[in-house]
Structure 1
Amino acid sequence: MDPSAEFGRWKAQCLSKADLSRKGSVDEDVAEIVQLLNGQEQFFTTSSCSGRIILLDGSINGFEVQKRNCRWLLVTHKPCIKDDMIVALKNANGDAVLKFEPLVLHIQCQQLQDAQILAVRSTHGLEVPLSHKGKLMVTEDYIDFLLKIANQKMEENKKRIERFYRCLQHALERQTVTKSYPKEKVNEKTNAYSHKKKRNREKACDRCITEENDKERENDNSSGLSAAVSPEDD
């Protein structure tokens, strides 16, 4: 079977099912990006998360929580208030950990070259243990302090989602322009115009990406973006 046709069949089959994330649906803040990607023949998303604040209850091994072997006491894709966190902590029996996780997209790409325009990754996040064997190990004031940081990260994450969307649009437009102008049988005037237009689009996209990278260097505590090309449970 033609690889392109096979990819299209696989895409249709996967998109007919629910999102593979724990929530099972696409978050509002990332819906435009998912729609943009799934509207391209060379991409489709398998799972997504716009970013979240979560409280996990489980065992800790080297301060790393294994999400598959723990209980989710609280999860929100919006800013979190202290009262909700305190109530959730009362249900902790093991070692509860507060986490902030930024945007994650799991995307299948038809070819490696298609995946290259999605090569955006950052490790910014937050992970702090709050209790041990059900006993709260920090004060409520400290929890309030942590939530202020987590909520700031959530707001910054939303701004980064918007910047990523603009960069992705530029990259896809540049790809379309490149495919629209074959190297052969193009007169000099059209060729010069297309190259100038391509350079302008490249500068716009590169400027957007540069601003994103500069933002990360300026603020190590800010949230980031990540895009993966292989499907994975979120």
Structure 2
Amino acid sequence: MAAFGRWKAQRLARADASRKGALDERAAPVVRLLNARARFCTTSSCAGRLVLAQGGAAEDAERRGAPKKGCEWLLVTHEPCRRDELMTALEKATGDVVFKFEPFVLHVLCRELQDAQLLAVRSTHCLEVPLSHMGKLMVSEEYIEFLIHVANRKMEENTKRIDRFYKCLQLALEADVSANNLHSEETEKYHSVYVHRRKRETIQEQDVHTSPKDHSEELEPEDDPESNLGIFAEIMI
């Protein structure tokens, strides 16, 4: 655990190596929420973007996790896109170009497996459409206008999903902390009851050896077997 904390401190101290060079404003609340917990460390994030990318082979390499060498971004924006700016960017095309909407993405390293299970979330809220081949536009401008409308709606929905995810994550983390605290309290209570019983049994054994008593004497309420079973039943529940 200490090693994870040291690694996290080193990781968060690094300079931002993304193209933008800074944290996306919409992603910032979620990133800060997680990094405020000792068991999480975010490594990269994107609040969602619209991209016009050139380079067919590079696109395939990107999906396989290879470096993005040779992939040229003709347009990238984290805001809704306008038709005129997309058409202007398309004029620069000389190869295969795709238009993509990429939703909010967040990569997180977790201290333990149970921490990772709390964050297991995936989404299919994306869009990827080829527009040109070898610099030649393969679709109509009317279709491009329709495509921009669809992509912008996805961007708006993406913003709402980030807000919902933040609120749900906040509640989940708070509930998890409460559950862990309750477990610790129950464990401590069980330990206290056990220690108390052992002390009482030790005293009774000493009394037997030092001054034998009539064994027909009634048990005190705290020594009643049913009462003791009730205590442990309450703990287990």
The normalised TM-score by structure 1 is 0.74
Counterpart-to-counterpart distance in 1, 2:78 and 2:6: 32
Counterpart-to-counterpart distance in 2, 1:185 and 1:40: 24
Match of residue 101 from structure 2: 100
Call closer, same or farther: CA 1:68–1:103 in 2, change over 3 Å: farther
Which amino acid in 2 is paired with 1:40?
R
Q: Does residue 19 in structure 1 map to residue 10 in structure 2?
A: no
Structure 1: which 5+ residue stretches go unaligned? 196-234
Q: Are the equivalent residues in 2 in contact too, given 1:20–1:47 (CA < 8 A)?
A: no
Query: Which residue of 35, 54, 58 maps to 1:57?
Result: 54
Query: SS of the counterpart of 1:161?
Result: helix
Counterpart-to-counterpart distance in 1, 2:116 and 2:155: 26
Structure 2: which 5+ residue stretches go unaligned? 63-67, 191-229
Match of residue 85 from structure 2: 84
Query: Which residue of 184, 187, 203 maps to 2:187?
Result: 184
Judge which range, 109-118 or 21-30, deviates more: 21-30
Match of residue 147 from structure 1: 148
Tell me which protein shows more strand as a share of its residues.
1
Match of residue 30 from structure 2: 33
1:195-233: CA deviation from partner (whole Å, max 9, x where unpaired) = 9xxxxxxxxxxxxxxxxxxxxxxxxxxxxxxxxxxxxxx
Query: SS of the counterpart of 2:27?
Result: helix
1:13-53: CA deviation from partner (whole Å, max 9, x where unpaired) = 11011334332321001110001011000001111000000
Which amino acid in 2 is paired with 1:83?
D
Counterpart-to-counterpart distance in 1, 2:178 and 2:125: 34
Report 1 or 2 for greater relative contact order, CA contacts < 8 Å, sequence distance ≥ 6.
Answer: 1
The normalised TM-score by structure 2 is 0.73
Counterpart-to-counterpart distance in 1, 2:178 and 2:14: 32
CA deviation after TM superposition for structure 1 residue 60, in Å: 5.0
Which amino acid in 2 is paired with 1:55?
L
Counterpart-to-counterpart distance in 2, 1:140 and 1:51: 24
Q: Are the equivalent residues in 2 in contact too, given 1:19–1:46 (CA < 8 A)?
A: no
Q: Are the equivalent residues in 2 in contact too, given 1:74–1:85 (CA < 8 A)?
A: yes
1:48-101: CA deviation from partner (whole Å, max 9, x where unpaired) = 00000000001259x847344310110001100011100111111100100000
Match of residue 6 from structure 1: 3
Match of residue 220 from structure 1: none
Counterpart-to-counterpart distance in 1, 2:19 and 2:45: 9
Q: Are the equivalent residues in 2 in contact too, given 1:20–1:46 (CA < 8 A)?
A: no
Number of equivalent positions? 186
Counterpart-to-counterpart distance in 1, 2:41 and 2:31: 8
Counterpart-to-counterpart distance in 2, 1:60 and 1:152: 29
CA deviation after TM superposition for structure 1 residue 185, in Å: 3.5
Q: Which of these two proteins has the greater Rg computed from alpha carbons? A: 2
Which amino acid in 2 is paired with 1:90?
E
